[in-house]
Amino acid sequence: MPVAETRVVSKFLRERPDDSWTLAAALENGTYSTLDTLFDRAPEDIVKLVTDSGLRGRGGAGFGTGQKWSFLPKDVYPRYLAVNGDEGEPSTFKDHMLVEGDPHQLIEGIVIASYAIQTHQAFVYLRGEFALGAERLAAALADAYARGFVGKNIKGSGYDLEIVLHRGAGCYIAGDETGLLSSLEGERAMPRIKPPFPAVQGVYAAPTIVNNIETLSTVPHILRNGAEWYAAMGVNRSKGTRLFSVSGHVERPGNYEIELGITFRDLIEGLAGGVAGGRKLGFFIPGGASSPWLLEEHLDAPLDMDYVQSELSATTMLGSGAVMVYDDTVDPLLVAWRIAKFFAHESCGKCTPCREGSGWLEKVLYRMLHGHGRPEDLDLMLGFGNNLAPGLGWPPGMTTICQLGPSTMSPVVSLNRFWRDEIIERMSRDTERRSAIPVKAGA
């Protein structure tokens, strides 16, 4: 049976591709209608509703959204909502689409979440490079203020909410929740030690909830249709629908919103049209550059956040929902090196294992890729990498403040899992070839 998308957050922007971001179109679609009855309900009811729906964060960590909201300490004010729109995980492009295509849906979600956690100030931290997204969100915010959906005394409820759009300026680690808070405070986006968790001490040392754009865009639909409706979709503890960004060597790269529980095969071969040009699958990365890789034999694994992390033979994660597909002509070492280069560039430099380790991984992978590797290089990386991602499995242990450190090892762990013998043999050949080059004295 052919697989189909189950569109919830992406439904409207797909239906009205020419003007879905305008207020007029949004109002025709019924966006903001939840605000008519929202304020009749107790904030705790909204938290419970979202908890019951089983919605988990769509940024990467997959923490229960309602549960996160309930961690706020009682009676501590002010408190804040920070919306994480710093989408930077390589090959993820869903929030980009949501903020450009349906900013009013996001604003509606922000109002609901803000009311649920009883904050009067929300910040949207939007990736600096999203110029059109920032333009559309700013325009949508201005319209929402003018209509009284945001601002003082929303819908005559007596509830006030200010939403500030804050543009980033080019930095991957601002997408980490505590890195984002540092950046929002006007500092280098360096992550902070937890605890204290942001819900206790976040931005300006006040209780702060950080939620991803896709997560908040989902909330209005849960309010409209009920927790049971949402929880009825999906599988096990992976409820509802989720956007997957599929790219690389596929016929139809793009964002696909699917009910969790379908398989990687459904997603890659069904929705994305299979490997480009009818070629053979080499390997694929299931959840952004931070996640360990998978092979053809894993295609029938379900898109279930917990399954891939605990039961799959090669443990990994669904992460940010970014699936990168490579055909069998791609050298895994090339991809491993490029990811290492990315992490070395984006390491903020705060924790020694990551600052030093990410750079050394890049250097060693570079020489391996370019014919200067040694047979022991793989074990060399696994050796010092064990200080970066203790245990070298998934989820790895931590020696750094944030997940960037251990994530740098995912490509190397994958090389070792799937191509260990091949790589050692290739490095031996390269070493022999080099030793056959005569060295002339004085040359």
Residue whose pair of structure tokens reads 């909201």 in the numeric block = 69
Q: Is 185 in the site for another protein (CB under 8 A)?
A: yes
- Answer yes or no: are the C-beta atoms of 259 and 234 closer than 8 Å: yes
Amino acid at 48: K
The verdict on 283 binding another protein (CB under 8 A) reads: no
Q: Is 275 helix (H, G, I), strand (E, B) or coil?
A: strand
Under the binding rule (CB under 8 A), the answer on residue 247 touching another protein is yes
Residue 247's H or E segment, with its range, is strand 241-248
> Per rule CB under 8 A, is residue 271 in the interface with another protein?
no
Give the Cα separation of 234 and 441 in Å (integer): 69
CB 198 within 8 Å of CB 178? yes
Site for another protein in 423-442 (CB under 8 A): none
When binding is defined by CB under 8 A, the residue of 43, 148, 151, 254 that contacts another protein is 254
Q: How far is the CB of 159 from another protein (least distance, A)?
A: 19
Q: In this chain, which stretch among 184-192, 295-303, 374-382, 391-399 interacts with another protein, using CB under 8 A?
A: 184-192
Residue choice 183, 218, 358, 400 for contact with another protein (CB under 8 A): 183
- 8-state DSSP, 358: H
Half-sphere exposure of 382 (CA within 13 A, CB side): 14
Q: Which is nearer to another protein, 230 or 326 (CB)?
A: 326
* Total interface residues for another protein by CB under 8 A: 57
- Select the residue interacting with another protein from 8, 65, 87, 333 (CB under 8 A): 87
- Shortest Cβ 311–another protein spacing (Å): 26
Please give the Cα distance from 384 to 372 (Å, whole number): 19
For position 369 contacting another protein by CB under 8 A, the verdict is: no
Q: Which of 11, 104, 249, 298 binds another protein (CB under 8 A)?
A: 249
Q: In 39-184, which ranges are E strands?
A: 80-85, 121-126, 162-167
Among 32, 93, 159, 419, binds another protein (CB under 8 A): 93
Q: Which is nearer to another protein, 12 or 326 (CB)?
A: 326
Residue 142 parent element (H or E): helix 131-146
* Count of other CB atoms within 10 angstroms of residue 204: 11
- The single residue among 7, 14, 41, 338 that binds another protein, judged by CB under 8 A, is 338
How many beta carbons lie within 10 A of that of residue 259, not counting itself?
A: 20
Q: Which of 169, 236, 328, 391 forms a contact with another protein (CB under 8 A)?
A: 169
CB contact at 8 A, 386 and 392: yes
Q: Is 127 in the site for another protein (CB under 8 A)?
A: yes
Footprint of another protein on residues 379-418 (CB under 8 A)?
none
Q: Which residues pair with 125 in a beta bridge?
A: 84, 166
d(CA 12, CA 20) in angstroms, rounded, equals 7
List interacting residues with another protein (CB under 8 A). Answer: 78, 87-93, 95-96, 121, 127-132, 134-135, 162, 164, 166-172, 183-189, 204, 245, 247-249, 253-255, 285, 289, 322, 324, 326, 330, 334-335, 338-339, 342, 345-346, 348
